C-alpha cells in the first residue's frame, strides 16, 4: 500500500454484509450485537492501492484483547480479523495508536483527520 502524502485518513467506506455479521456473531458469541459496526470506514492513512481496514468491534475484554477488524479491496468486506492493538504511542503525549499491530502506513496520531 502506498500512502498519498498529505491526504489524511483514507475514509473508503463499505457496509458490513448480513452474512459477515452472522459469521462474526457465531464465531464470537460474547460480542454485543448492538456494538458491531455496520457502516465501515478505512481508518488507515490515505492510500491509492492495497486493502482497506475498518474496526468491526472494539470492546473485547481485557487490556490486551485487541479488536475485530475487517479488510476489503473491492466494495465488500469478506473477512473477520482478530488483531492485537498496535503497541506504539506518540512520543509527545503518549497517545496510543488506534490501529492494529504491524499495520501498513503511519500510526493514527501521525495522520491528520479530514474535516
Domain limits, the chain: 13-106
User: What's the mean pLDDT in 9-28?
Assistant: 95
Cell numbers at 2, concatenated: 502506498
d(CA 31, CA 12): 25
Whether pLDDT at 1 is above 80: no
What pLDDT shows up at residue 32?
A: 97
User: What's the mean pLDDT in 17-26?
Assistant: 97
Per cent of the chain over pLDDT 90 is 65
Inter-CA distances, 20 with 37, 48, 58, 90, Å: 11, 25, 16, 34
pTM reported for the whole predicted model: 0.86
Local confidence band at 62 (pLDDT 50, 70, 90 cut-offs): confident
d(CA 75, CA 100): 21
Amino acid at each position: 500500500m502506498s500512502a498519498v502524502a498529505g491526504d489524511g485518513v483514507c475514509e473508503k467506506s463499505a457496509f458490513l454484509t448480513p452474512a459477515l455479521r452472522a459469521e462474526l456473531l457465531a464465531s464470537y458469541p460474547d460480542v454485543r450485537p448492538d456494538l458491531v459496526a455496520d457502516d465501515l470506514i478505512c481508518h488507515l492513512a490515505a492510500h491509492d492501492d492495497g486493502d482497506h481496514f475498518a474496526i468491526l468491534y472494539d470492546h473485547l475484554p481485557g487490556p490486551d484483547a485487541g479488536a475485530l477488524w475487517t479488510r476489503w479491496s473491492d466494495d465488500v468486506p469478506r473477512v473477520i480479523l482478530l488483531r492485537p492493538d498496535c503497541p506504539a504511542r506518540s512520543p509527545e503525549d503518549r497517545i496510543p495508536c488506534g490501529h492494529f499491530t504491524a499495520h501498513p502506513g503511519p500510526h493514527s496520531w501521525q495522520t491528520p483527520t479530514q474535516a
